[in-house]
Amino acid sequence: MSAVSTGRGAAGSVVLGRVMRAAGVTEFGGPEALHIVDVPDEPLGSSQVRLRVEAATVNPTDTYSRAGAYADRDPVKQPPWVPGMDVAGVVEEVGEGVGHVAVGDPVMGIVVPTGAHGGYREGLVLPGDSVVRAPKGADAVAASTLPMNALTARLALDQMALHPGQVLAVTGAAGAFGGYVVQLAKADGLTVVADASEADEPLVRELGADVVLRRGDDVARRIREHFPEGIDGLADGAVQDALVLPAVRDGGVVATVRGYRGDGQRGLRVLPTLVRRVAEDRAALDRLRQQVEDGVLTLRVARTFPAEQAAEAHRLLERGGVRGRLVLVF
């Protein structure tokens, strides 16, 4: 971190006034809009944790943020804007009331970005309940890939509330969200049917899917060939929306990830999955950490980039076909 005023106060507290690097945008646009910007340190309040960020995961939602898709709902209207929804690093300072992590602990956390407060920065203050210890044996790069996607997968399954033995379909099963849904659903006792390209089929089977079908716009038809009465639930990680609804039985349930709410037909419950709702569910995030340590969940890293190459990471992600997560390192 560069510093306007450096050093620490009493009891190791961080002195405000530091300026740090972040990968962000001053004008919304394509990947080229991302560049290194200086951002001020953030004050630490009670029940909060200050992190030295070592790794920040690049997710599709970050590309939407960079392009300005969420600008209308961001209360901060002045640049820079910093994307990034999950991070891992080391605790630098804890606020009053925080007892589950301590200075020096390796941790991971989920970020709800606003203005310059996003994951792509080398220092960050988060609510204490958005931060837990990193899984044992996982470095910061690997740990950073868990919080946002796994919490989204957990929320999707919790919202659908299927019972052991029921059938869940997962589209986009080779992706981060879809892969976590497959693994968590199997741990919940569900029967899982998943889509995959020919190249991804071994991966999706390894994740635990019971039935793997070829991906595509007609995947709903293929699902019905295996389950003529329709499946009980569907997690639509591929964002196929109306195309996949025919796979679900009347009265079934669908979890979506881009706000799609269905067509109101056949008694289907279509539930947008908004991870911000559970960004401070520390118990859920810590349970996911434990499931990594127990071998239930797999951390998948595709490639790392220095923060200065955030634009290239976004270009690669938007070209498609990435398996595992791209991670920026500080």
The predicted structure's pLDDT at residue 60: 94
CA distance 309 to 76: 25
Rg value, the chain, Cα: 20
The predicted structure's pLDDT at residue 280: 98
Interaxial angle between packed helices 310-319 and 60-67, expressed in degrees from 0 to 180 and rounded to the nearest 10:
110
Tens-binned pLDDT, residue by residue, of the chain (330 aa):
544 333 343 344 555 568 899 999 999 999 999 999 999 999 999 999 999 999 999 999 999 999 999 999 999 999 999 999 999 999 999 999 999 999 999 999 999 999 999 999 999 999 999 999 999 999 999 999 999 999 999 999 999 999 999 999 999 999 999 999 999 999 999 999 999 999 999 999 999 999 999 999 999 999 999 999 999 999 999 999 999 999 999 999 999 998 888 888 999 999 999 999 999 999 999 999 999 999 999 999 999 999 999 999 999 999 988 999 999 999
The predicted structure's pLDDT at residue 4: 35
Domain boundaries, the chain: 10-146+299-329, 149-276
CA distance 254 to 267: 11
For 10-146+299-329, CATH gives: 3.90.180.10
The predicted structure's pLDDT at residue 10: 37
The predicted structure's pLDDT at residue 14: 58
Give the distance, in angstroms, between the CA of residue 65 and the centroid of all CA atoms in the same chain. 14
Q: Single out the residue of 191, 112, 179 nearest to residue 322, CA to CA.
A: 179
Q: Single out the residue of 62, 50, 67, 115 nearest to residue 86, CA to CA.
A: 62
- Scanning the chain, the segments in alpha helix (DSSP H) are 60-67, 140-143, 147-160, 176-187, 201-207, 219-226, 282-293, 310-319
The predicted structure's pLDDT at residue 8: 43
The predicted structure's pLDDT at residue 16: 58
Those residues whose C-beta lies under 8 Å from the C-beta of residue 321, and which sit 6 or more positions away, are none
- The domain defined by 149-276 folds into Rossmann fold (3.40.50)
Q: Label residue 155 left, alpha or beta by phi (over 0 means left) and psi (-120 to 50 means alpha).
A: alpha
Give the distance, in angstroms, between the CA of residue 267 and the centroid of all CA atoms in the same chain. 30
